Amino acid sequence: MRVLVVEDEVAMAETVRDGLRHEGFTVDLVHDGPEGLWTATEKPYGAYDVIVLDIMLPGLSGYEVCRQLRAGQVWTPILMLTAKDGEYDQADALDLGADDYLTKPFSFVVLIARLRALVRRGAPERPAVLRAGDLTLDPAERRVLRGDTQVPVTPREFALLEFLMRHRGQAMTKTAIIENVWDAHFDGDPNIVEVYIGYLRKKIDHPFGRNAIETVRGAGYRLAEEG
């Protein structure tokens, strides 16, 4: 099994590398973000089964490396190393497209077990592209297209559109939208949904002379089947 370790604390990285080699892994070690990104993408030493990626790295954070790998269609499983007092936490690591995380300091035995589990699971499947007529939403690249035109949307607009597209043809209530796109404990004004529906219409519908997002009286909003 080939492992790429991206970690800038040299002594610690070398200990991990030596330990992994002792366990029969083939290990390549790089010490900064840009080199990690390049090595994981170009695979100059061969394809990797798993990547161990530190978050705080010189040049480019593990956060950015992970994001760019996934955006570049590299689906190698990633185990992220997070620090308890770091800028990012475990939840962030998973949000970014990492498959697992360990908080430093970690036990070597646990690291090995997690890596073996990740390799067994294999590379995650690329999430399916959603379509409604000529409206396309790509969860992996986080892109929205109307025909061939890319439509820039904010993360919240993206989440709202993704929710509607996953339930296209069905009227979704404001409550369901808030629970899925905001969160179950949201206690703000539910009219926020209306506001965001308005933003989306101005981006994906009005400029293209469409009316894909329908208001269903008394029921909520529905994305038309045929966009």
Quick note: the x/- pattern for Ca ion over 39-68, rule CB under 5 A, is ---------------x-x------------
Q: How many binding residues for Ca ion (CB under 5 A)?
A: 3
Using the rule CB under 5 A, is 4 a contact of Ca ion? no
From residue 17, how far is each of 4, 12, 118, 123, 129 by CA, in Å?
A: 9, 9, 17, 22, 37
Residue 47 Cβ, how far from Ca ion at the closest point, in Å? Answer: 25
Distance from C-alpha of 12 to C-alpha of 201, rounded to nearest angstrom: 51
Measured from the CB atom, the residue of 56 and 153 that comes closer to Ca ion is: 56
**Which lies closer to Ca ion via its Cβ, residue 83 or residue 117?**
83
Nearest partner of 63 among 82, 40, 77, 50, judged by Cα: 82
Q: With 0-12 CB in 10 A as exposed, 13-18 as middle and 19+ as buried, what is 156?
A: middle
Q: What's the CA gap between 222 and 189, in Å, rounded?
A: 20
> Would you count residue 88 as binding Ca ion (CB under 5 A)?
no
Q: Is position 134 an interface residue for Ca ion (rule: CB under 5 A)?
A: no
User: In the bound complex, which residue of the shown chain has the CB atom lying closest to Ca ion?
Assistant: 56
Shortest distance (Å) from residue 13 CB to Ca ion: 9
Q: Does 30 bind Ca ion (CB under 5 A)?
A: no
| 135 φ/ψ angles, rounded to the nearest 5 degrees | -95, 125
Instruction: Kindly state the smallest distance separating residue 105's Cβ from Ca ion, in Å.
Output: 13
Element (H, E) at 220: strand 220-223
Between CA 198 and CA 132 the distance in angstroms is 19
Nearer to Ca ion, 28 or 54 (CB): 54
Q: Does 78 bind Ca ion (CB under 5 A)?
A: no
Chain positions contacting Ca ion, by CB under 5 A: 8, 54, 56
